[in-house]
Amino acid sequence: MSTTKQRRKTATVTRNAASRSRERNVSAASGSGRALGEEERRRMIAEAAYYRAMRRGFAAGGEMDDWLAAEREINQR
C-alpha cells in the first residue's frame, strides 16, 4: 500500500474513532442509561474538576472539593 493511501486510511480510522467517542459522550450525557467505562468516567470527572478549579482561580487548597463535586455531578448524569 502506498504511503499516501496508508495516511488516508489512518486518518479515516482516527476520524471514525473520534466520532464514535463523541457519540458515546453525548449518549452518556443525555441519560441513555448506558454505563460509562471507568476510563471515560474518570476523564469526565477530571475535566469537570478542572473547570471548577478554573472558576475559583486555581486557588490552592480546594482540589479535593473540586474533584468530589465533579464526581457527584458526573454520577448524577
pTM: 0.55
Amino acid identity at 18: A
Read off the pLDDT of residues 16-67 as tens digits, 9 standing for 90 and up.
555 555 555 555 555 555 777 999 999 999 999 999 999 999 999 999 999 9
Give the phi and the psi of residue 11 in degrees, each rounded to 5.
Answer: -60, -40
What is the reported pLDDT for 20? 58
Residue 40 neighbours by CB under 8 Å, 6+ apart: 24, 25, 28
What is the reported pLDDT for 57? 96
For residue 8, pLDDT beyond 80: no
Cα dihedral 23, 28, 30, 32 sign: positive
For residue 69, pLDDT beyond 70: yes
In terms of average pLDDT, the best of 1-5, 19-23, 32-36, 68-72 is 68-72
- Cell 466520532 belongs to residue: 19
Rg (CA), the chain: 17
